Amino acid sequence: MDKLIIRGGNRLSGTIPISGAKNSALTLIPCALLTEEPLTLRNLPRLADIDGFQHLMNQFGVTTAVQGSRPEDFGRVMTLEAPRITSNVAPYDLVRKMRASILVLGPLLARTGEATVSLPGGCAIGNRPIDLHLKVLEAFGAEIELAAGYVKAIAPEGGLPGGEYDFPVVSVGATENALMAAVLAKGTSKLFNAAREPEIVDLCKLLVAMGAEIEGIGSSDLAIHGVKRLHGATYRVMADRIEAGSYACAAAITGGDVLLEGARADEMGATLHALRNIGIDVTEEKTGVRVAANGPLKPANLTTAPYPGLATDMQAQLMSLLTVADGTSVLTETIFENRFMHVPELSRMGADISVSGRTAIVKGVKQLTGAAVMATDLRASMSLAIAALAAEGQSEIRRIYHLDRGYERLEEKLQLVGADIERVGDD
Ligand code: EPU
């Protein structure tokens, strides 16, 4: 298994190209199930999770063709075509490797009237139930059966009637499943307290490009008027706001100055606000967002929340940055119950952090020191890389398959701006 060797201390400077958004791509790809015509997605990141999802789509009889795969290119283009769905079962072996597989439930049900998906189970960052995915589909008229570790959703004869659902908790995935199911329903469906993350807006824009009728895009109340059929489309995946935010933290912790090429400031509001409070200069430029650190980092009080609040996917990376701030910071995680697994690893690098329930108190230290650390989930892994970039001496980050799930060629991008980082085989 590969590991990353990072020798800290280099100031990052230059330009990092930002890839297409993983979490957007993972909901745009299953939209291919909604039409017989080809769907072409541009700017897809090259990630293990995207390969996994492609494989899952093949399982349903969707053909996939990938272009633009020169090794030196970032991103690629995938055309998916599903003239006929040959299976509507997502098996355990594929789902267990990738929780986002649950996002095929809505579109498979809408297209074929029935879908069977293995229950994804918990994961490192929390219990992550799927009850809301099932409740909203039930509200749209589906019958739900649970048996032998699988969920089966069945539409009435003639298709889903559609319906209304008010989410008790904001859920990105359940909103996505609901949208993909409702677009082909017979009537109008309404969602209240729906997630409004930029990735949801990206999904809505693709669905509209395919012929869907959706009102309220970008808000938490959505009305979806079902249509008889959707057609093919060509669509560019939005820039990855979490990848961009992660590299912003990397630049900032090294006192660097980096242009995040392709990043959109309007989709990164809460992260950029947090960075500014920490004392980082953030400027919107024509081609992206520039972050520059001059002077000491200030402590901050940050709480994660659904969009437009601060993304839980940025909590670990911001925590790394605050480990070397000039004072004490407080970070509160409100979305997932177990998302502080980077804390013991950051402590091994000299950080002073104590956790009580959902709150972490981070006392800034003068200097982190390099250490061998273990990645536990995607964003936790990135937080370790960020800390290592500022640490004195060498760090080794193991289990980097987590990073490969969500950061396209991380070490190459960091090398572009002067980091001393290499990937080596773990023996
Ligand atoms: N929840 C329920 N029941 C449900 C669904 C969610 O109780 O049926 C709870 C969750 O346990 C959690 C909260 O609702 O406490 C929010 O979960 P959400 O459904 O919004 O998360 P998700 O759709 O499973 C996506 C991203 C995550 C990101 C979250 C929150 C994808 C593929 N994943 O997950 O991304 O943290 O939204 O923004 O889009 C990552 O990229 O590292 C990552 C974990």
Neighbours of 145 (CB within 10 A): 10
Give helix then strand counts, H and E, for the chain: 14, 24
Report the alpha-carbon distance of residue 370 to residue 388 in Å, rounded.
6
For the CA atoms of 305, 309, 314, 320, the dihedral, rounded to the nearest 10 degrees, stands at: -90
Neighbours of 93 (CB within 10 A): 9
Query: Scanning the structure block, which residue is given the tokens 């267990």?
Result: 96
**pLDDT, tens digit, for every residue of 273-294?**
999 999 999 999 999 999 999 8
Residues paired with residue 395 on neighbouring β-strands, in sequence order: 6
Residue nearest to atom 10 of ligand 1 (CA): 128
User: Is the pLDDT assigned to residue 426 strictly greater than 90?
Assistant: no
**pLDDT, tens digit, for every residue of 370-394?**
999 998 899 999 999 999 999 999 9
Residue nearest to atom 5 of ligand 1 (CA): 130
Dihedral (CA of 37, 119, 51, 16) sign? positive
Structure tokens that stand for 410 in this block? 């991380």
User: Is the pLDDT assigned to residue 128 strictly greater than 90?
Assistant: no
Atom nearest to 132 CA in ligand 1: 8
Task: Tell me the HSE value of 303 on the side-chain side, using a 13 A CA sphere.
Answer: 3
Average pLDDT over residues 343-357: 97
Q: Are 136 and 110 in contact (CB under 8 A)?
A: no
Structure tokens that stand for 354 in this block? 């104590």
- Cα–Cα nearest to 30, from 230, 187, 171, 311: 230
How far away, in angstroms, is 125 Cα from ligand 1 center? Answer: 10
Mean pLDDT of the chain: 95
Residue nearest to atom 37 of ligand 1 (CA): 172
Report the alpha-carbon distance of residue 322 to residue 2 in Å, rounded.
28
Domains with residue ranges and CATH for the chain: 2-18+239-425 (3.65.10.10), 22-236 (3.65.10.10)
Atom nearest to 377 CA in ligand 1: 42
Average pLDDT over residues 38-62: 95
249 labelled catalytic: no
How far away, in angstroms, is 120 Cα from ligand 1 center? Answer: 12
Structure tokens that stand for 90 in this block? 């997502």
The confidence score (pLDDT) of residue 401 equals: 87
Does the pTM surpass 0.95? The reply is yes
Query: Scanning the structure block, which residue is given the tokens 């119950």?
Result: 337
Atom nearest to 307 CA in ligand 1: 38
Catalytic option among 31, 123, 204, 249:
123
